[in-house]
């Protein structure tokens, strides 16, 4: 049976670190390098922070920014949201916001208490009023704009282009992983393609559950692939290599999640996704960008209860994830961004809910961030057709994550010069 | 002299060749169906497959009509049956609009909320209709007696890719799908002209915002880059700008194409060297006169029907050139062009057998049609398609699906293997909302036919025949060995190895998990 030493280094050689050489060395050297497994020169590239990881948490449906980061210092807030407004910080209770910054008159939704403790520990950057010009209020289009990083919402994804730009010609197996039903457009590159799986238990062949006798022949069939560079490149060679990769990745992922996590995660869908991601990071998977998703933020009616539940799920998933990373000793390697396709209208609607709006806050979390509040809270009176005006272009957030954190050519990836929002420590 | 499009010798149209044709021009078939093609011979097989509507056309010529007959559920228009409604996502009526305006005026939040809730309900209903359309189309592909009609429709769906996510109108997607089916085997010019009059496409590429005073270049650009010429093939940014002017005013009202004369730019334009007061149709015929167009379409045909490996062989290149000539000679008629391709020696060459990565749709439909498994739950199969990267009516972008190797990664490979397990055994993966299917797969017809056709095979020979058939005509020696070993391992008693339905099912699960099962 095939028993290649599949180490993290091998994955890296086959992926990014090697490909980053490809830009500077002639093709034939790259080819021969493929055969040189274990060459220590290839294991780490100066200036290529291959150990850094980005995690994206998507809040689908349009999260109400004004009830997430609460402008309690502005009397207008209470006027436009007579039934929805959260109170200024005070004795804790439902509907009383948590103090974020007294001087600025900003609070956090009370359900975000676990996030607040991370904030107090200097692990959270709150980026205010993030949006883009001529906001689109369709969920799908606005989400596509965020995913493509382009105002026309067309083309490949911004994370996909990150891989394409840094891994010239060679996709990393499991480089981009979405724990969820389908891979997000954001991760679709021209070269790099994301993989996605809803739960690690499904990242395997289910036929072996039918009869134990099927396991051996299945393995023989799927582990007979050759390493890249050592075999041919027919369609069948390609498939056999991928099949071998799949077996290896499946084994690693299943082994990773079989280990009990170092901290306790709640049993919610988002926490399960982040627990899987935490396990994969701990297992030193070659993944550079992970994606997790939670939907349901489209709170047109009866918002208060639902919104609180959702935010609680978010905070109660992110906080243990951060603790997990710290316990693993990986907290300095991982930065997490939390975003939604748009915020909601300033005024509440007639159904104690809010309709589709524009700019909203983005959270960036991790030991590598510059903690604090970035940008100014959008004005509640200087509006554009009843909606907030954005202060920070979302692509400036991306520019910081790509350029400052991942050390990638953000201008090339974003196809434009967006000043870094400076969220990450240099 | 021989060239790639030289017809295949009649004697070379054997079982494997016929199976190859049925896989590529359609979605595969049972051993009986393949055998029937062999007996018909190549030309009659092509008549059957490619000229799928010859009977209809003959009737139409003779002035007969099918009027009064119930439309067939398994061929022709797909969404005409009562289950589908054109007005699920209707616009607000003038009364509703007036009511909304009044409510806004009076700050009557309750009425505003009620009207918005109605609108949201319509949007939900529309998404449900799309889900039904996905299942219905998949079912059609599984059942149709005209697989080539659906295969072409799928091809054009990826070529003139339009996504429901963006347009959010299921009926517009239905209209487009019918257009692709109706015109997909006809002539290319008619098809392209229909596409620039197609509400879904006009909305998808923002041509409803392409106005005389503020042109929108989106459709003009993709029309050349993705639909006809190929990226950067013989046109400039200036041609795009001028082309956009020719497309001004092309929009839709409700479910119909609408030419808004007020928004049309009537001035002279110069596109691709041709100057005149060009409109949309004029723009299309200008593009289609370029030599880049047949070459680009021939290349797309080649990648879809012949070989989608990343590198093209010299014969492949020549084949594309010849196919482009053929397309031109046929005045852009699609059916005779593809018929020539399917008749050619190159199409059947060893290098092109098992050289296409099955699309997720192909994988599912071909498994059902060739092995004869129960189709099981359409919803589950649609969901599986999504997991494998192909959701019908939801191509990832206007580029369509990249196809080829991009279908395959470590995650999709497991889903692909597991879908075969699901089809063969009815076992659904835990944790999915896939419904468990109790329907039993009876492999006997498949096995019996293969065994009898070759005259009383023993157990091992039978397995080999089944595997070779399921894998599209060839099986590697190490695979035979692996399957033999599995079979021998089951019978420790020394008795003669028995072929049971369960064993065949187990073998098909293993075969479906072979890397080469992903090829057709």
- Residue A116 and residue A371: Cα distance in Å, rounded? 12
- Residue A55 and residue A334: Cα distance in Å, rounded? 7
List the one residue out of A363, A390, A305, A286 whose CA is nearest residue A114. A363
Q: Does residue A38 lie within any of the structural domains? A: no
Confidence at residue A32, expressed as pLDDT on a 0 to 100 scale = 32
Residues 139-178 of B with CB under 8 A from A: 165-166, 168
Quick check: B38 and B21 in contact, CB under 8 A?
Answer: no
Give tens-digit pLDDT for B176-190: 999 999 999 999 999
DSSP per-residue string spanning B55-113: HHHHHHHTT---TTSPPPSSSS-SS-STT--TTTTPPPPHHHHHHHHHHHHTT-HHHHH
Q: State the residue range of the domain holding A128.
A: 52-204+235-414
Average pLDDT of A49-59? Answer: 88
Quick check: A311 and A68 in contact, CB under 8 A?
Answer: yes
Closest chain A C-alpha to B500 CA, distance in angstroms: 15
Residues 128-187 of A with CB under 8 A from B: 138, 140-141, 144, 152-155, 173-174, 181-183, 185
User: Phi, psi (5° rounding) for residue B300?
Assistant: -65, -45
Q: Chain B contacts of A182, Cβ < 8 Å?
A: 386-387, 389, 391
Confidence at residue B495, expressed as pLDDT on a 0 to 100 scale = 62
Is the pLDDT reported for residue B92 higher than 90? no
Average pLDDT of A244-273? Answer: 94
Confidence at residue A410, expressed as pLDDT on a 0 to 100 scale = 96
List the one residue out of B165, B226, B169 whose CA is nearest residue B192. B226
When pLDDT is cut at 50, 70 and 90, the band that residue A50 belongs to is low
Q: Does residue A340 lie within any of the structural domains? A: yes
Window from B43-47, B58-62, B178-182, B323-327 with minimum mean pLDDT: B58-62
Q: Does residue A20 lie within any of the structural domains? A: no
A141, A195, A213 member nearest B409 (Cβ): A195
Is the pLDDT reported for residue A8 higher than 80? no
Name the domain count of chain A.
1
Confidence at residue A257, expressed as pLDDT on a 0 to 100 scale = 92
Average pLDDT of A127-145? Answer: 94
Quick check: B376 and B439 in contact, CB under 8 A?
Answer: yes
| A29 or B61, greater pLDDT | B61
Is the CB of A350 inside 8 Å of chain B's CB atoms? Answer: yes
When pLDDT is cut at 50, 70 and 90, the band that residue A14 belongs to is very low
Asked whether the beta carbons of residue B519 and residue A235 sit closer than 8 angstroms, the reply is yes
Q: Does residue A405 lie within any of the structural domains? A: yes
Quick check: B459 and B487 in contact, CB under 8 A?
Answer: yes
Confidence at residue A65, expressed as pLDDT on a 0 to 100 scale = 98
Provide the percentage of residues in chain B whose pLDDT is more than 90. Answer: 76
Give tens-digit pLDDT for B398-430: 889 999 998 998 889 999 999 999 999 998 765
CA distance to B13, B500, B505, per residue, from B444 (Å): 27, 9, 10
When pLDDT is cut at 50, 70 and 90, the band that residue B107 belongs to is confident
Q: Does residue A327 lie within any of the structural domains? A: yes
3-class secondary structure, B160: coil
B117, B310, B510 member nearest A218 (Cβ): B510
Average pLDDT of A270-277? Answer: 97
Is the CB of B355 inside 8 Å of chain A's CB atoms? Answer: yes
Q: Does residue A26 lie within any of the structural domains? A: no
Provide the percentage of residues in chain A whose pLDDT is more than 90. Answer: 68
When pLDDT is cut at 50, 70 and 90, the band that residue A390 belongs to is very high
CATH code at A194?
3.40.720.10
Residue of B nearest to A199 (CA): B431
Eight-class DSSP state of B227: I
Q: Does residue A13 lie within any of the structural domains? A: no
List the one residue out of A364, A372, A365 whose CA is nearest residue A331. A365
Closest chain B C-alpha to A392 CA, distance in angstroms: 26
Asked whether the beta carbons of residue A207 and residue B519 sit closer than 8 angstroms, the reply is no
Is the pLDDT reported for residue A54 higher than 50? yes
Residues 403-422 of B with CB under 8 A from A: 405-406, 408-414, 417-418, 421
Q: Does residue A229 lie within any of the structural domains? A: no
> Any residues with CB less than 8 A from the CB of A160 and at least 6 apart, and which?
A176, A186, A187, A188, A189, A190, A192, A193, A194
Confidence at residue A123, expressed as pLDDT on a 0 to 100 scale = 98
């Amino acid at each position: 049976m095939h028993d290649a030493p599949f180490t993290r280094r091998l994955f890296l050689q086959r992926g990014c670190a090697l490909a980053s050489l490809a830009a500077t060395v002639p093709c034939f050297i790259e080819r021969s390098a493929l055969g040189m497994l274990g060459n220590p020169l290839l294991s780490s590239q100066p200036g290529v922070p291959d150990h850094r990881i980005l995690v994206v948490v998507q809040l689908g449906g349009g999260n109400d920014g004004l009830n997430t980061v609460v402008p309690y210092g502005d009397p207008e807030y209470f006027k436009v949201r007579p039934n929805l407004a959260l109170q200024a910080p005070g004795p804790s209770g439902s509907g009383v916001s948590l103090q974020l910054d007294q001087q600025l008159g900003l609070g956090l939704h009370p359900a975000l208490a676990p996030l607040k403790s991370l904030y107090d520990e200097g692990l959270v950057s709150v980026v205010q009023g993030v949006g883009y010009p001529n906001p689109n209020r369709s969920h799908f289009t606005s989400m596509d704009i965020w995913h493509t990083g382009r105002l026309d919402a067309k083309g490949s994804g911004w994370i996909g282009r990150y891989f394409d730009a840094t891994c010239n010609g060679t996709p990393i197996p499991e480089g981009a992983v979405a724990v969820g039903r389908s891979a997000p457009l954001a991760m679709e590159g021209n070269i790099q393609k994301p993989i996605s799986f809803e739960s690690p238990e499904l990242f395997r062949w289910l036929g072996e559950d039918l009869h134990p006798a099927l396991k051996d022949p299945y393995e023989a069939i799927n582990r007979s692939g050759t390493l890249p560079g050592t075999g041919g490149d027919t369609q069948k060679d390609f498939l056999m290599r991928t099949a071998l990769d799949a077996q290896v990745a499946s084994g690693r992922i299943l082994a990773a999640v079989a280990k009990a996590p170092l901290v306790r995660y709640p049993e919610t869908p988002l926490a399960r996704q982040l627990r899987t991601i935490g396990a994969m990071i701990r297992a030193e998977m070659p993944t550079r960008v992970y994606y997790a998703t939670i939907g349901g933020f489209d709170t047109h009616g009866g918002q208060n209860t639902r919104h609180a539940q959702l935010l609680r799920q978010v905070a109660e998933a992110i906080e243990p994830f951060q603790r997990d990373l710290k316990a693993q000793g990986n907290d300095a390697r991982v930065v997490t961004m939390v975003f939604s396709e748009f915020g909601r209208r300033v005024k509440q609607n007639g159904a104690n809910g809010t309709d589709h709006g524009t700019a909203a806050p983005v959270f960036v979390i991790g030991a590598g961030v510059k903690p604090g509040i970035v940008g100014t809270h959008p004005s509640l009176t200087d509006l554009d057709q009843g909606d907030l005006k954005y202060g920070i272009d979302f692509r400036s957030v991306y520019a910081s994550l790509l350029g400052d954190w991942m050390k990638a050519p953000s201008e090339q990836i974003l196809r434009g010069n967006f000043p870094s929002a400076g969220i990450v420590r240099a | 002299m021989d060239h790639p499009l030289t017809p295949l010798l009649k004697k070379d149209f054997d079982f494997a060749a016929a199976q190859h044709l049925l896989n590529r021009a359609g979605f595969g078939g049972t051993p009986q169906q393949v055998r029937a093609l062999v007996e018909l011979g190549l030309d009659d097989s092509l008549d059957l497959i490619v000229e799928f509507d010859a009977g209809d056309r003959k009737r139409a010529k003779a002035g007969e009509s099918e009027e009064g007959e119930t439309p067939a559920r398994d061929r022709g228009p797909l969404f005409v049956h009562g289950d589908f409604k054109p007005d699920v996502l209707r616009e607000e009526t003038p009364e509703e609009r007036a009511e909304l305006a009044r409510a806004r005026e009076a700050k009557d939040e309750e009425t505003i909320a009620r009207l918005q809730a109605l609108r949201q309900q319509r949007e939900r209903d529309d998404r449900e209709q799309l889900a039904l359309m996905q299942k219905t189309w998949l079912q059609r592909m599984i059942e149709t007696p005209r697989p080539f009609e659906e295969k072409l429709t799928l091809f054009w769906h990826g070529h003139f890719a339009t996504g429901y996510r963006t347009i959010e109108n299921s009926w517009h997607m239905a209209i487009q799908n019918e257009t692709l089916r109706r015109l997909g085997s006809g002539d290319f010019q008619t098809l392209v002209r229909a596409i620039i009059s197609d509400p879904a496409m006009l909305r998808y590429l923002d041509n409803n915002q392409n106005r005389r005073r503020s042109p929108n270049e989106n459709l003009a650009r993709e029309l050349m880059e993705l639909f006809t010429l190929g990226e950067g093939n013989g046109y400039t940014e200036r041609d795009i700008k001028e082309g956009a002017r020719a497309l001004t005013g092309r929009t839709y009202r409700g479910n119909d194409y609408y030419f808004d004369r007020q928004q049309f730019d009537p001035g002279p334009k110069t596109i691709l060297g041709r100057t005149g007061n060009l409109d949309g149709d004029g723009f299309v015929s200008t593009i289609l006169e370029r030599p880049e167009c047949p070459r680009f379409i021939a290349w797309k045909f080649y990648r879809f029907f012949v070989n989608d490996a990343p590198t093209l062989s010299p014969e492949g290149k020549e084949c594309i050139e010849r196919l482009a000539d053929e397309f031109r000679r046929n005045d852009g008629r699609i059916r005779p062009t593809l018929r020539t391709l399917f008749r050619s020696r190159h199409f059947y060459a060893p290098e092109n057998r098992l050289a296409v990565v099955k699309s997720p749709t192909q994988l599912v439909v071909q498994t059902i049609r060739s092995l004869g498994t129960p189709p099981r739950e359409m919803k589950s199969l649609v969901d599986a398609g999504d997991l494998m990267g192909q959701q019908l009516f939801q191509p990832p972008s206007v580029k369509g699906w990249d196809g080829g190797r991009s279908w395959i990664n470590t995650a999709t490979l497991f889903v692909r293997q597991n879908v075969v397990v699901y089809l063969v055994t009815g076992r659904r993966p835990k944790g999915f909302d896939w419904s468990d299917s109790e329907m039993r797969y009876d492999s006997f017809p498949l096995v019996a036919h293969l065994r009898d056709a070759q005259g009383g095979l023993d157990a091992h020979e039978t397995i080999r025949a089944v595997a070779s058939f399921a894998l599209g005509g060839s099986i590697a020696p190490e695979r035979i060995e692996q399957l033999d070993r599995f079979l021998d391992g089951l019978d420790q008693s020394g008795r003669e190895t028995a072929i049971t339905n369960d064993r065949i099912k187990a073998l098909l699960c293993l075969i479906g998990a072979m890397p080469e099962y992903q090829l057709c």
